[in-house]
Amino acid sequence: MKTGPIEKIQSQWHKLTGLHTREEWSAAIVRTATAAELAANFAIREEFKARSRFDAEFVDSLLIWANGLDGKMKRLLLPLSVGSAGKKRSEKIKKLKAAAEQISKTRNAIAHQGKFSNEDDAKAAIQRTREFVETLVQL
């Protein structure tokens, strides 16, 4: 059975909930960033599906090229949103870009610098990412 993009995001959320319950704060934060990137992938694929005839393989190559949540926002989603569905939508994407930068920064400090996080860090990251994912998927 094939798992869809929304189910993949939900699966990440389920896993991060377990990590949070076990007080594995840093791992939970990394998992939130994964959920955010999956949401960005979903949104980008939907934009390309609605606005182009590019095949899935080509879009996947763009997602790899964009490299990470921040790159996907800057290189793909933000440019796709400009002029596509009005100023309101573009402004929401710009705000989401700022959230994505913070999500990436927090994740990268853990993954690349070995930073350890505490419960407050995890709660803040989870809330920020929840808002990011819900807003992006709704758009």
The two three-digit tokens of residue 49, written as one number: 């599906």
Q: What is the pTM of this model?
A: 0.90
- What pLDDT is stored for residue 87 in this prediction? 73
CATH assignment at residue 52: 1.20.120
Residues 6+ apart with CB under 8 A from 5: 38, 41, 42, 45
Mean pLDDT of 107-134: 94
Do 5 and 41 form a contact (C-beta atoms < 8 A)? yes
Do 117 and 29 form a contact (C-beta atoms < 8 A)? yes
Please name which of 56, 47, 107, 122 lies closest in space to residue 78, comparing C-alpha atoms.
47
Per the model's pLDDT, the better-predicted residue between 82 and 126 turns out to be 126
Residue 1 pLDDT more than 60?
A: no
Q: Residue 28 belongs to what domain range?
A: 5-138
Mean pLDDT of 23-39: 95
- Amino acid found at 40: A
Give the number of domains in the chain: 1
Residue 13 pLDDT more than 70?
A: yes
Per the model's pLDDT, the better-predicted residue between 65 and 16 turns out to be 65
The two three-digit tokens of residue 7, written as one number: 């189910």
Mean pLDDT of 127-133: 95
